[in-house]
Structure 1
Amino acid sequence: RTRAAVAFVSLDDLPTAPAAWNSLDILILNDVDTGQLNGAQQTALTQWVETGGQLVVTGGPGWQKTAAALTDLLPVALSGSESVDDLPALRVAGGTPFRDPGPYVVASSSLRSGELLVHQDGLPLLARQPWGRGQVYFLALDPKLAPLVDWDGSQALWGLIAGDTPQPPYWGAGFRNGYAAGEAVSALPGLALPSALALGLFLLVYVVAVGPANYVILNRIGRRELAWLSVPALVLLFSILAYFTGFQLKGNDVVVNQMTLLHGPLGGDTVRAQTLLGLYSPRRSRYDLTLPGDALARPFERTYGAIGGAGHIDQVTRGGDLVIENVRVDVSAVETFIVNSYQPAPAIAGSATLGLAGGSVILEANVQNNGDVTLENATLLIGGRAISLGDMPPGDSASTRTAVGAAAASGGSPALAPGGFGIIPPPGSGAPLTNNAATILGTSNYYEEPVAQARYQLLSAVDESFYGGSSSVHVPGDVVTLVAWAQTPQLDARIDRDSYDSLATTLYLLEMPLTQGLVAGNNVSLPLALLNWSIFEESGVYEATPQNLFLSEAAVAFEYVPWREFQRMSVTDLTLVVLPESSQLSQPPPDLSLWDWEQALWQPVPDAGWGETVVVDYGRYLGENNAVRLRIATPTYGVQIGEVYPQLTGELD
């Protein structure tokens, strides 16, 4: 993130609806009486932190009122305040001397949990503890008073806090493709159009009945002059038949369909939810749609690009419930809405460990379904790789022990797995959900199966905002994500009718911490699955990703950084892997260049071709945290690259 916006708010401005907090990244509470927060605000604050918010609570003279309602969240146990003449540890952290002389008022405390970022002889000055996906900081001074108020080092202090804000996975932004979202929630079972075969048979019977059959019958009875009556009668009969058939196909019942993306840390109390809501009506009518009062809702239209649109409603009111009033639905149409809410975390437990065995990097994971719903097509997502666990009924557990990378062979060259280099994720646009759709949906025939097709559109609504662009996606490298489906509603959605049908689908994306079980001294080779990547620069590329990359007189440069577990690895070998698509074997390979961190320029890689190219004198191409920048260019029209990445081999410290 390169830009930030700051808003100054009072406690009264803090919303009671938890989902309204999603627009905040960091909240600083300074010299305010948090005891004035009502119960709904306190609950919303806690849920916001647990699902990814960053809370900063300050001390100074007003420490007591500021921490009044937050003692359970703080990483420290507060005991009072004291005056100190100097804070040399803080000066060192800020890198510059104070402008104002002491004494300074500091809130006295002791570390209860978490870690001390800055302390003066054991007195916490800045402490932090994780809270779910979020974090809570305690700053023992008042930033409006000395020494912080006009200190040049304050920027470094706040930069330490803001810079530590974790980047959420890309699906944390929710649905971003309006067309795919509309297609998903509008795909209702039983409302599909008749097949081409059925239409063809109907037309064939109609033509035969009106033409040859009508003639044969009238000719046999010797009354061919009656054709002026029989032909219109048959046309009317078939028209009535077609009308009633169509009426039955479109259904007679109003349908409320909800499809929810549920994401957050596994084992927490609360997760964030975003729901696509579709209201189908077989005839033109108006409805009032009622939702829980702590939800946020707005209409959207089925258009390409970002989700937006005014819809066909009068207004949205909030009392005990949230009511979308006077929703106007046309004949056999679906009005669509997007709803943000917080939901109780599902009762699912799990653990994941990355280790070494038999020359391979091994993922060992276990998932336990302690809830009362069946998890359909449960899948583990690690980097760009999906591992199927199958269906998990209530009370069921599933385990996997799967190779996700290969250790180097004794001669120092990377070991090859059957069919490729290490473990290679499926090719695609760089969006892991749709890339692995066959595994996540449990079928590769999702274009033909109605339920699977709707679920595929739901995945596309998350992923396809990146289609045709040059955006990289962030998949956390220190977690394994559980992906699963359930046919359970997350919202109590009602309309002002006595009779209507309700449909529900939930997509779970729940993150399990990944434990480092790797031991020192092993020669390990990292595949693309264990590298995070981003675009460094690009020119003329339609869709820039390290997989399924199409280049036509264009160039792109990626920056690859190993997962955190491998960022301190002592690299002993750098090999460039460039895999062609099977249909491109006769094409010349692209030109490769590596970024020289010492000279700050691109260096061409001589004799680079398809497959593996070993890089000599590789040290100058390794940046901080073993980062590697690789540039791919081609003057040739239509070169399709299946996969391109730097394969690092080394010793784990």
Structure 2
Amino acid sequence: DVMKSFNILFMNDFDSSKLKEEQYEVLKEWVKQGGFLIIGTGPNGTKTLSIFEDEFITGRKGELTKVSGKALGQFVGVDFNEVMEIMDIKLENGITLLKHDDIDLAQYVSKGRGRILILSFDMGLEPFFSWRLNRNFMEKMVQEILPSFYGRDYSGKYVSIARGNYYNIDRALKTIPELPLPNYQTAIIMFGIYIILAAPVSYTILKKRDRRELMWAVVPALSLAFAVIIYFMGFGTRFTGPIFNKLTIIHGDERGNMASQSFGGIFSPNKTDLIVESADGTRIKPLAYTDNYFSSYLRWDERKIDTKIMVSPKSSIEFYDVGVWDMMTISLEEDRVLEGNITSQVIYKDSGFTGFIENGTDLDLEDCYIITSNEYMPVGDIKSGEKKELAGKAVRYYGDRYDLLNSLYDVNSLRNNVRNMTNEKIQEIRTQNQKRYLLDYHFDFNLSPTIEGVKLIGWSSSPSTSQIRVNGKEVKSYNRTLLVWDLTLDIQSGEEIELPWGYIKPSINDKVVKGNYDPYSNSIYGTGVLEVSYDLGQHIVPERIEFSQRAIDATIKQYIWNVKEQRWDNGDFAGFVIQGEDIAKYVDTNNLLLLKFELNDSSFQIPQITVKGRMK
């Protein structure tokens, strides 16, 4: 609990071997759960790194050497040419931030949700210690590595900031498919009966008995009777206390690396204060949206406190004066991501996927798909422990993620079928909408707007392991989890292979275009010359390359590089095929294929390719 109060720890000129084993395990777990560990080395690096003899930090410790600190000065925009004594460290799987010639001066490695920054110098020794910009240097260094909570979002320790198209999270949390609905057909019938009884029937009967003056009593009595009937009809859909809707996204791969995001929406049927606390140690924070948090222009003395956040010893949030059915959003940082793993043997052949996917996790997955940047294939449900055999043709789409979302979760076709609308259909529409919002958020949150490689997506409504209490009581909870798992195509040496459409990503080599590139639709618009290359990889012997491209403006000139003749040949890449002797004509010795386009205030979608051949 004490460690959870810290975002950053510095370790410099410290004999780490003095840490007890229990303390070391706590430190490692703290990093994995999102902590940022900064380690200074230099002349004291050996003792500082002495405890890291396991797999937590791996690499090579070199000799001490002296280098210029010029790179540090350039990092903050000044001259700093002082000589520094540094330790030449090569961090395994590390990402270099600063280097002098071939010597890394600052590098980091990710561990779970946290990171470790290794500095090759001692922060407490000259000349760095007396450098007037040493603080600016360290602040910028931290900002470069952890922009999410340091520098830009000063409240990030206490408040989680929703990013990307965060309104998709808001919509998904407000959509609860499992909420019971009253039978609207019965309600319409009852309303019709009431109108008939309250007007023509009552009037006719009282008129025949010459007692029309009793209408003032009969109509209110009927209204009261029908109000009681409607009340009891909707009794099963009524809530007397708060409810909690939780959504989780888990992204993993076959190496066992996993990351998760969890969000929650809390609703109350009454205007009240809400005290939200974790029931199992899960850390919770309010989820704020970038366009409306801290945006009030009121003076501080006119403000009122609407949220109180308790970080330690137990994570809790108090929301004040919450309106009826207003949603209070939170994020949850869970220690447990997922039990088990997804294993697979996936082969792409004849425009479809074969092989198997085995669900070794503790989640029952439903509505699963294999997706690529241009194709998808339904897989169905995969129960926990089930091995699912794959067989079927993949369905093409145009590489636009909205095309994919429309194909997987076509809510419009369901809405248009008004005549057959039932409560079950309404629940299906709400379920499809929620899935669409959450998957769209995942696509937008990730740095790459297009799908990389081959992925499995699946859904689970299994009960959540993390629970919350509202006002000291457990609440009715609804859960949905999106699992996104990176799959690897099974390709063996000497075997025939077929790569899915879009599996080989086009690279824009030279863009002299007044315009822009839209990565979501894989399109270029503007005026100028554009060169696009496709790297087939050194281990593939291509035998057939097929192109796919939407119809483009006739004013756009298209070319393909002729390797043999060293010239540009005119081309039209809608359905274009390269095979036989043309392979050597258009694919160079590095297995590169090059196209060129001349645009004149126009736009087009970059062609996608599929490759057949064999592995070397």
Shorter-chain TM range is 0.5 to 0.7
Superposition pairs for residues 291-310 of structure 1, below 5 Å? 291=278, 295-300=283-288
**Bigger mean CA offset, 382-391 vs 533-542:** 533-542
CA distance in 2, matches of 1:191, 1:611: 48
- Picking from 47, 52, 68, the partner of 1:65 is 47
**SS of equivalent to 1:344:** coil
CA distance in 1, matches of 2:596, 2:117: 35
Query: Are the counterparts in 2 of residues 124 and 140 from structure 1 also a CA contact under 8 Å?
Result: yes
Offset of 1:489 from its aligned partner? 1.2
AA at the equivalent of 1:61: P
Label 1:280 to 1:577 Cα distance change in 2 as closer, same or farther (>3 A).
Answer: same
1:45 aligns with 2:16: no
- CA displacement 1:166-212 (0-9 Å, x = unmatched): xxxxxxx9864343322322233565665764554344223212221
Label 1:555 to 1:504 Cα distance change in 2 as closer, same or farther (>3 A).
Answer: farther
Query: Are the counterparts in 1 of residues 282 and 466 from structure 2 also a CA contact under 8 Å?
Result: no
- Picking from 366, 385, 398, the partner of 2:388 is 398
Q: Which runs of 5+ in 2 are unaligned?
A: 68-80, 97-102, 130-140, 146-160, 296-303, 417-424
Residue in 2 that maps onto 1:496: 471
**SS of equivalent to 2:607:** strand
1:531 aligns with 2:531: no
- CA displacement 1:498-547 (0-9 Å, x = unmatched): 463122222222334x2561546968676224436789799899976447
1:74 aligns with 2:74: no
- Picking from 430, 434, 456, the partner of 2:405 is 434
AA at the equivalent of 1:337: T
CA distance in 2, matches of 1:183, 1:66: 48
1:350 aligns with 2:350: no
Label 1:520 to 1:529 Cα distance change in 2 as closer, same or farther (>3 A).
Answer: same
Label 1:612 to 1:174 Cα distance change in 2 as closer, same or farther (>3 A).
Answer: farther
**SS of equivalent to 1:71:** coil
CA distance in 2, matches of 1:534, 1:484: 35
Superposition pairs for residues 176-575 of structure 1, below 5 Å? 176-189=164-177, 191=179, 197-198=185-186, 200-239=188-227, 241=229, 249-266=237-254, 268=256, 271-275=259-263, 277-291=264-278, 295-300=283-288, 313-331=306-324, 333-352=325-344, 360=350, 366-400=356-390, 425-427=396-398, 429-430=400-401, 434-435=405-406, 437-438=408-409, 445=414, 448-450=425-427, 453-454=430-431, 456-463=433-440, 473-477=449-453, 480-498=455-473, 500-512=475-487, 514=488, 517-519=491-493, 527-531=501-505, 545-546=520-521, 566=537
**SS of equivalent to 1:398:** strand
AA at the equivalent of 2:44: G
CA distance in 2, matches of 1:521, 1:187: 48
Offset of 1:316 from its aligned partner? 0.7
Label 1:481 to 1:28 Cα distance change in 2 as closer, same or farther (>3 A).
Answer: farther
Label 1:610 to 1:370 Cα distance change in 2 as closer, same or farther (>3 A).
Answer: closer
CA distance in 2, matches of 1:622, 1:328: 70
Tell me the TM-score normalised to structure 2 length.
0.65
CA distance in 2, matches of 1:126, 1:499: 47
CA distance in 2, matches of 1:246, 1:631: 65
- CA displacement 1:402-429 (0-9 Å, x = unmatched): 67xxxxxxxxxxxxxxxxxxx5533474
Label 1:487 to 1:146 Cα distance change in 2 as closer, same or farther (>3 A).
Answer: same
Query: Are the counterparts in 2 of residues 430 and 472 from structure 1 also a CA contact under 8 Å?
Result: no
Offset of 1:230 from its aligned partner? 2.3
User: How many residues are aligned here?
Assistant: 541
Identity of aligned residues (%): 16
Offset of 1:215 from its aligned partner? 2.1
AA at the equivalent of 1:285: T
CA distance in 2, matches of 1:365, 1:648: 20
Label 1:45 to 1:256 Cα distance change in 2 as closer, same or farther (>3 A).
Answer: same
Label 1:435 to 1:570 Cα distance change in 2 as closer, same or farther (>3 A).
Answer: farther
CA distance in 2, matches of 1:190, 1:525: 40
Query: Are the counterparts in 2 of residues 516 and 565 from structure 1 also a CA contact under 8 Å?
Result: no
Query: Are the counterparts in 2 of residues 29 and 58 from structure 1 also a CA contact under 8 Å?
Result: yes
Residue in 2 that maps onto 1:7: none
Residue in 2 that maps onto 1:408: none
CA RMSD of superposed structures (Å): 5.9
- CA displacement 1:584-627 (0-9 Å, x = unmatched): xxxx85544458999xxxx9996748544879998699999657
- CA displacement 1:250-309 (0-9 Å, x = unmatched): 43342122111222344537633222x1222222222200026552411447xxx97968
CA distance in 1, matches of 2:253, 2:476: 32
Offset of 1:434 from its aligned partner? 2.6
Label 1:300 to 1:595 Cα distance change in 2 as closer, same or farther (>3 A).
Answer: farther
Offset of 1:317 from its aligned partner? 0.8
CA distance in 2, matches of 1:465, 1:396: 26
Q: Which runs of 5+ in 1 are unaligned?
A: 1-13, 22-26, 87-98, 118-122, 150-160, 166-172, 404-422, 581-587
**Bigger mean CA offset, 61-70 vs 522-531:** 522-531
**SS of equivalent to 2:4:** coil
Residue in 2 that maps onto 1:416: none
Offset of 1:324 from its aligned partner? 0.6
Offset of 1:69 from its aligned partner? 4.2
Offset of 1:493 from its aligned partner? 1.2
Label 1:353 to 1:306 Cα distance change in 2 as closer, same or farther (>3 A).
Answer: farther
